[in-house]
Structure 1
Amino acid sequence: MKYHLKATLLKQEKIARDIYSLTIQADLIAQIAQPGQFVHLRVSQNLDPLLRRPLSICNLDKKSGELTFWYQTIGRGTKLLSQLLPGDTLDIIGPLGRGFQTDFSGKKIALVAGGIGIAPLIFLAKKLALRNNVKIFWGAKNKHYLPTLPLNIPLETITEDGSSGKKGLVTSLLTESFDYLFTCGPQPMLKAVAHLAFQKGIPLQVSLESVMACGVGACSGCLIKGPKKQFKVCADGPVFWAEEVYGGEKNDS
């Protein structure tokens, strides 16, 4: 089920370099949204720009009906979004997409994030940590792109310049053994995590990022090619098992 509604912007603040936290009132969506799902929203209160933007749900409160998103300003659309103020109205559709599978208990789980890819993993971490042993590994360009996480969950950071945590790539932190892996971030990082997961035989769920025109699978604008079939990221995902999109060790590129 999805809703098309007008949501009131409650709070917006800059939390790191080019990264914003946006909270809206959207009771109906907050009651049913699952980790890994997203909303499709207009970034301004008119039709310019025309295309909506997908934002992964970072956190929610069912009792208050609030939804929180983290996003990075990378173009005109997100810059316009960052200029909206409390009290403004947002046209949104959601929750959309296939989220993470979370029916695990008593497992050792690693969440691997690259940059703003941490956003959907925050919501996921809160749910998984209720019944599992969860640890977050988060990589970024430098410390200025690492806002403080609203979580009391073990966290290890790494940056390209060594300004926070170790210096290097986030995959270098995955030295422990885990029952499950979850990841979201830049495509090269996702492939590297998938390669590692295939080598170690660890089930991996991947949240893909993509430009989405319609958000509901109608236009095929976010089509990707897996080893066996094509997928629409907005409708078939954005969450996939790694073998669906990367094909396993023998087919991994």
Structure 2
Amino acid sequence: MAAAKPRLAVHKFSSCDGCQLAFLNLGEDLLRLAELVEIVHFAEAGPVDPDAVVDIAFVEGSVSTPEDEERIQKIRKNSRHLISIGACATAGGLQALRNLADGPGWIAEIYAQPEHIHSLATSTPIAAHVPVDLELWGCPVNGRQVLGAVRALLFEVVPALEKDKVCLECKRHQAVCVLVAKGLPCMGPVTLTGCGALCPRFGRDCYACYGPAENPNATALGRRLEGLGLVPEAVARRFLFINSGAPAFAEAGRHWREQVHDPKP
């Protein structure tokens, strides 16, 4: 009798579905993955069983509603390994920008009956609510990350994670530095690689979609961006964007916002 395949689930929370599409865009590799595991819940691909007990659970999206808070607890209990994927799940995502403003106030101004909007005051990453075994950063993640994580876990080894900065990836691709050559406010010096330096290779500045790299020197980059002509508020916004909930970027954003209200003499 053949051994049962490991069971896998893909869950969606508050997000744009981009990281789930990273799965679907695997094409034939997704079919090969299905030969190694049994995909028991992946609503966007077909199977629906949100309460299934699984070996590996991927979670896309941030916790933004009271229902999300309850659901992530159940998923954690039903999963041997829980992996958060993408900027929303690892750092709150774009919706975490509301953490910097009066979210309830916005809802009251937009909706005629705001009492019917069941939303939390903040958007927070999965790890803020339950233990997470692995975080895959990116907006969105790429298929190589996903497949690498699954294969590693199937062999009971810790998945290898990218630790280099985008600048190193640019060097590997022999891409011209847009920060030096064009004076663009590139976030590559503080951003984790994983995208293959996609934006700089096409002549535009990195906007930090893979989150903070290991040991990012945000202060130095902020000063360099000031040297390019960005005012402190604009520097803050470079950090407080897709991954505004990442501690390193959140701290840098707060620092440069403080310069707006309390500038140096």
TM (norm. structure 2) is 0.29
Question: Which has the larger share of helix?
Answer: 2
TM (norm. structure 1) is 0.30
Question: Which has the larger share of strand?
Answer: 1
